[in-house]
Amino acid sequence: MIRFFGKVYPIRKLLFFFGEGLFLFCSMIVVSSLLSPEEVPSVFDPAFLVRVLFIDFVCLLSLYYFDLYTFRMGLANSDMFLRLSQALGCASILLGALFFLFPVLLPGRWVFLSGLGLFFGLSIFWRLLYGFIIKKGLLARPVLILGSGKFLHDILEAVRKNRDCGFSVAGLVLENLESEVPSGHPVSFGFSGLRHKVLEAGAECIIVAMDEMRGRLPVRELLDCKVHGIEVLDGETFFEEMTGRILVDKINPSWIIFREGFDQSPFRLAVKRLVGVMFAVVGFVVFGPVLLITPFLIRLDSPGPILFRQTRVGKNGRPFTLVKFRSMRTDAEKDGAKWAKKDDDRVTRVGRFIRKTRIDELPQMWNVLAGHMGFVGPRPERPEFVDALAAEIPYYDQRHAVPPGITGWAQINYPYGASVEDAKKKLEYDLYYVKHMSVVFDLYIILKTIKTILFREGSR
């Protein structure tokens, strides 16, 4: 298992990704060696190898953006073939344009297309093989879950939904015969002889997932397992590593205080600020034409101001004025503040488009330059909503420990929230971000944000 931003990634998944990259690289090399020498450069030419690596990078990036490294339940092979064809087609168009503009990048007249065709076949084989490995639970780490109640079901559901999490449930140990028994897994009752049960199940780790541990945690049995080399993890940490969320209903203040993370050194914050400003400046340049055209479209579509200004809560609870392109009618809140909902009739025709494409968020780059926001961070909320949510959701104010952002970990992992329950789920992602905040994590979130925008996910 490899930990990255607190999440656990199975080694088999990394081997799959790099293996596919190796297949693509080797496809180009094999094809180049089969074609006549006068048609292609030598495979041992460093310049040729650099060109092939560039092709490799663009193709793998295209596969990522077509969601081909997320293995979900119920994904049919036909869908995988279609996505793979679309991804390689887009990569071919992009690379073809680059080869036209910069012929020096072309590895050979027929190498690129022939190599891509060979890779398509190898990738299908590689993906079918990997799907078989996932289905059979091969190369997964077996765990024994000691638990009860809703928390146990939450963890089982997370493992079930995340087919490629790298863990397999070897069995469950429930407190007593009165416990509700989840289906689909071997079950034993009672905590006595726990180490023997672990060995009997062939598990490598124990996950403690109990709704209530006070006076019920089998300390002696767990201690016996620990000193005999069996890893013991609390369910909260296991859930965090697997899902990228921190369960606010399960943790207590000591869990936050004594855990690693939540590092906000001046140097880290300064670098984060510098990167945010750089992306904002680049954003103004890249999206300049969009920023010029959008105001005309808004004005033609509906009467009222072009920009929408609203008070939001920033770092340490300080209010600031957020700026967006207006996407709703001017009388949208004549009856008071309310969350946006799906198919909201207050949204204008142009507003619906700029919300879907996230164009309405672009003016917030000014908030980044002004220091009110970072480029990445928790979504800034309105003061009236913050007061209500803080009264109902534990640890809600802790999300204000870092600057809010245009995009963030919650925004790319959870759809637009329109209820207290949605706000709680988004807070679980926000706390995870606060705990693992770093510049590298910010760059990863920006990369995922571009993917989210291209596939138009999560906006209302």
- Could you tell me the pLDDT band of residue 31, with boundaries at 50, 70 and 90? confident
Q: Is the pLDDT of residue 103 over 90?
A: no
Residue 458 has pLDDT above 80, yes or no: no
**In the predicted model, what is the mean pLDDT of the chain?**
86
Looking at residue 428, what is its pLDDT? 95
pLDDT at 43: 57
Give yes or no for residue 40 having a pLDDT over 60.
Answer: no
**354-380 residue pLDDT tens:** 988 889 999 999 999 999 999 999 999
Q: Is the pLDDT of residue 74 over 60?
A: no
Average pLDDT over residues 225-253: 91
CA dist 175 and 189 (Å) reads: 6
Instruction: Name the burial class of residue 316, with classes exposed (0-12), middle (13-18) and buried (19+) by CB atoms within 10 angstroms of its CB.
Output: exposed
Is residue 23 a contact partner of residue 63, using CB atoms and an 8 Å limit?
A: no
Q: Under a CB-based contact definition with an 8 Å cutoff, are residues 91 and 64 in contact?
A: no
- The pair of structure tokens assigned to 185 is 């897994």
Lowest mean pLDDT among 43-52, 79-88, 223-232, 444-453: 43-52
| Superfamily (CATH) of domain 141-243 | NAD(P)-binding Rossmann-like Domain (3.40.50.720)
What is the predicted pLDDT for the residue at 321?
96
Q: Which of 111-120, 358-367, 434-443 has the lowest mean pLDDT?
A: 111-120
Is the pLDDT at 6 greater than 70? The verdict is: no
Residue 460 has pLDDT above 80, yes or no: no
Share of the chain above pLDDT 90, in %: 42
pLDDT category at 316 given cuts 50, 70, 90 is: very high
| Residue 66: predicted pLDDT | 84
238-255: average pLDDT = 89
Tell me the angle at which helices 194-201 and 219-227 cross, rounded to the nearest 10 degrees: 50
Q: Where is mean pLDDT largest: 185-194, 276-285, 325-334, 419-428?
A: 276-285
Handedness of CA 67, 71, 74, 80 (dihedral sign): positive
pLDDT above 90: residue 416: no
| Amino acid symbol at 136 | K
Question: Cα dihedral sign for 57, 61, 63, 64?
Answer: positive
Residues 275-312 pLDDT 10s: 999 999 999 999 999 999 999 999 998 888 999 999 99
Give the pLDDT score at 3: 65
Q: Is the pLDDT confidence value at 36 over 60?
A: no
Higher model confidence: residue 150 or residue 137? 150
HEC states along the chain? Answer: CEEECCEEECHHHHHHHHHHHHHHHHHHHHHHHHCCCCCCCCCCCHHHHHHHHHHHHHHHHHHHHCCCCCCCCCCCHHHHHHHHHHHHHHHHHHHHHHHHHCHHHCCCCCHHHHHHHHHHHHHHHHHHHHHHHHHCCCCCEEEEEEEEHHHHHHHHHHHHHCCCCCEEEEEEEECCCCCCCCCCCCEEECCCCHHHHHHHHCCCEEEEEECCCCCCCCHHHHHHHHHCCCEEEEHHHHHHHHHCCCCCCCCCHHHHHHCCCCCCCHHHHHHHHHHHHHHHHHHHHHCHHHHHHHHHHHHHHCCCCCEEEEEEECHHHCEEEEEEECCECCCCCCCCCCCCCCCCCCECHHHHHHHHCCHHHCCHHHHHHHCCCEEECCCCCCHHHHHHHHHHCCCHHHHHHCCCEEECHHHHHCCCCCCHHHHHHHHHHHHHHHHHCCHHHHHHHHHHHHHHHHCCCCCC
In this prediction, residue 328 carries a pLDDT of 85
Residues 6+ apart with CB under 8 A from 33: 43
Mean pLDDT of 18-38: 81
- In angstroms, the CA 39 to CA 45 distance is 14
Range with the lowest mean pLDDT among 26-40, 291-305, 428-442?
26-40
Q: Would you place residue 273 in the very low, low, confident or very high pLDDT band (cuts 50, 70, 90)?
A: very high
Q: For residue 109, what pLDDT band results from cuts at 50, 70 and 90?
A: low
Over 90: is that where the pLDDT of 158 sits?
A: no
Q: Say yes or no to pLDDT of 442 above 80.
A: yes
Numbered ranges of CATH 3.40.50.720 in the chain:
141-243
Average pLDDT (197-211) is 92
> Can you tell me the mean pLDDT for 228-256?
90
Give the lowest-confidence range in 1-5, 75-79, 343-347, 399-403.
1-5
The pTM (predicted TM-score) of the whole model is 0.84
